[in-house]
Every structure is written in C-alpha cells, then in structure tokens.
Amino acid sequence: MTLVTGSIRKMRTSLSSPVSYEWVAGEQTLAMNQFLGQSLSLNFLGNINCVHCNRLTKKSFNQGYCYPCFQRLAQCDTCIMKPEKCHFAEGTCREPEWGEANCNIDHYVYLAHTSSIKVGITRGTQIPTRWLDQGATQARPIARVSTRYQSGLVEILLGQHVGDKTAWQTMLKGNGEAVDLKAKQRELAGLCEDGLKDLQQRFGLNAITWLEDGDDIDIQFPVLEWPTKVKAHNLDKTPEVAGTLMGIKGQYLILDTGVINIRKYGGYNVELKVNG
C-alpha cells in the first residue's frame, strides 16, 4: 500500500522519548514511528526537484539543490560548512540580507555525544533539531557567541582537543556508553582558557559567553534492534529499497537490509510504501 509520494525533505523531528519522526514529501507529512517492525519500500521515481527553486535537475548538489542554486545561494557557500571562512565583512557574501538574518545572529557552541564526544555549532533556533538530526544521544550548549564566524573560531579552538566529526557507521550501531559532558566542558575551559580570552579581547567580552549552568540533554531514538554491520543503500544505484524498519536515528532509516540517509536525498521524488 502506498503511503505517500512526492519530493522528499529531511525528516521532521520533535524531542520526545523516543524522538518522534515525520516523513516529509511536498506538503504531505507522515508519522514514521508507527511503522517500526513493518516492511517498507522506497521507490525513487527518477525525478529530482531543487529544494530551493523546485526546478527539475538531473543531479542534486549539497543535499538537494540544482546547480544554479548551489552556485548562487549563500546557504550553499563553503563558509556554511566552515564558518571560520565567513567573508561577510569583506563585502563578498553571496546574499548579504540572508547573511544578516542567519549568520550575524547568536550561535551556540555545543558538545554532543554521537559516535564519541564532538564539538559543533548551531543557531539557537536549531536547538534541539541539530542534535536530533546528528543522532546525538547527549548534548550540551557550552558557549553563546554573537556571530557564526565567531562560533567557527571557537569551534576550531576547542577542536584541538576534541573531535568535530561523527563516525556515522559507529553512531548507527548503538548508543554507546553515557559520557560526562559537563566534565568535558570544564576540561576544555582549562585547556582553552588563553585562546578564549584572546577571542574575547578581539571581539568584545560579551561576544563570547561561556555557559556554566544548565544540564545535559539526553535523547532516546526509536530503535528496535541495532545493526551489527552498517551498509548504506543508494537510491542513485538502486532506485528501489525495501526492508523491515528496525529503527530511526539521526536522519537514517535503519532497515534490516541496510540503512538510508534521508537527508542525502532531499528533492528526490520517492514513493513510500508499506508491504503486506
């Protein structure tokens, strides 16, 4: 039975215990947790619509954009992945108004436990969505900064002592042992004290605020069984993917036949079916 068909986006999440997931296809949404333990199939219908302008594109860039949008939009620039390369102050931002609204605002530097402890950055409006999309089982904001550029500089500083990447295959094999993020924050504060003071002197004392209070956020994902080996399905190579839904973590559907990163296929026209 076909459940929904259309141009998909990353799954919508909400923080509950466990995390609630919704499939998004065009204007349609579908609660996904209810299908745990059931046989599903995803059929890529061959068309890709740009997630920004909706034009048909033969190839997706940066998780869903057509090439003209990928080249033109500020949200597709390299400084989004590497905020320390922000060039807004140089007057060369692709979309200055977008940069003002999305980059020159408060950001948070955080610690999260995904495959291991990692440091990351996000806008306040993306808390806790950012952590849910990453598959983090624990998260903790540790600093508030005035701009995305500054958050990138703090991330680089802390990244000398803690990782900034998620090993996605490890993340999908289980939750791992709980960690003490508050203790890690204290450790980083000592290790990076001089560097943090230098940044505060450069940008102003209030530009970078170290957050001492607050509690870790614990996150539970809807998983019936973890895979022992993680194999990724690829809709470009195999347009139809089927299997029993064993869990959802981050933006991955965990099927008994392999996993699939839904965010990777933004804009793909997909038919989602429940079998049997």
Does the pLDDT of residue 55 top 80, yes or no?
yes
Task: Judge if 60 and 77 occupy the same domain.
Answer: no
pLDDT in tens, 89-105: 899 999 999 999 999 99
pLDDT at residue 274, as a whole number:
93
Retrieve residue 128's tokens. 């806790």
Mean pLDDT of 185-207: 96
pLDDT in tens, 221-253: 999 999 999 999 999 999 999 999 999 999 999
Contact 215, 201 (CB under 8 A): no
pLDDT band at 42 (very low <50, low <70, confident <90, very high): very high
Task: Judge if 92 and 200 occupy the same domain.
Answer: yes
Contact 142, 112 (CB under 8 A): no
Task: Judge if 97 and 142 occupy the same domain.
Answer: yes
DSSP state of 159: T
pLDDT band at 155 (very low <50, low <70, confident <90, very high): very high
- Choosing from 218, 233, 260, the residue where a domain stops is 218
pLDDT band at 215 (very low <50, low <70, confident <90, very high): confident
Task: Judge if 205 and 90 occupy the same domain.
Answer: yes
pLDDT at residue 2, as a whole number:
79
Mean pLDDT of 28-39: 97
Average pLDDT, the chain: 96
Task: Judge if 188 and 229 occupy the same domain.
Answer: no
Is the bond into 68 cis (omega within 30 degrees of 0)? no
pLDDT band at 34 (very low <50, low <70, confident <90, very high): very high
pLDDT band at 213 (very low <50, low <70, confident <90, very high): confident
Round to whole Å and give the CA distance between 104 and 149: 8
Does the pLDDT of residue 6 top 90, yes or no?
yes
- Choosing from 196, 218, 240, the residue where a domain stops is 218
Task: Judge if 211 and 75 occupy the same domain.
Answer: yes
Round to whole Å and give the CA distance between 268 and 65: 11
Task: Judge if 129 and 235 occupy the same domain.
Answer: no
Q: How far does the chain reach from its first CA to its final CA, in angstroms? A: 8
Task: Judge if 39 and 61 occupy the same domain.
Answer: yes
Q: How many residues are listed for the chain in this entry?
A: 276
pLDDT band at 263 (very low <50, low <70, confident <90, very high): very high
Find where tokens 């624990």 sit: 138
Does the pLDDT of residue 113 top 80, yes or no?
yes
Task: Judge if 32 and 134 occupy the same domain.
Answer: no
Does the pLDDT of residue 48 top 90, yes or no?
yes
Task: Judge if 205 and 235 occupy the same domain.
Answer: no
Mean pLDDT of 113-124: 96
- HSE toward the beta carbon, residue 27, CA cutoff 13 A: 0
Total domains in the fold of the chain? 2
pLDDT band at 182 (very low <50, low <70, confident <90, very high): very high
Mean pLDDT of 123-145: 97
Mean pLDDT of 171-178: 94
Task: Judge if 184 and 246 occupy the same domain.
Answer: no
pTM, whole model, 2 decimals?
0.95
List CB contacts of 64: < 8 A, sequence separation 6 or more: 9, 48, 50, 51, 52, 265, 266, 267
Long-range contacts for 162-166 (Cβ within 8 Å, ≥24 apart)?
A: 162/111, 162/117, 162/118, 162/119, 162/188, 163/116, 163/117, 163/118, 163/119, 164/118, 164/119, 164/120, 165/118, 166/114, 166/115, 166/118, 166/134, 166/135
Which domain covers residue 93, as residue numbers?
71-218
Task: Judge if 107 and 206 occupy the same domain.
Answer: yes
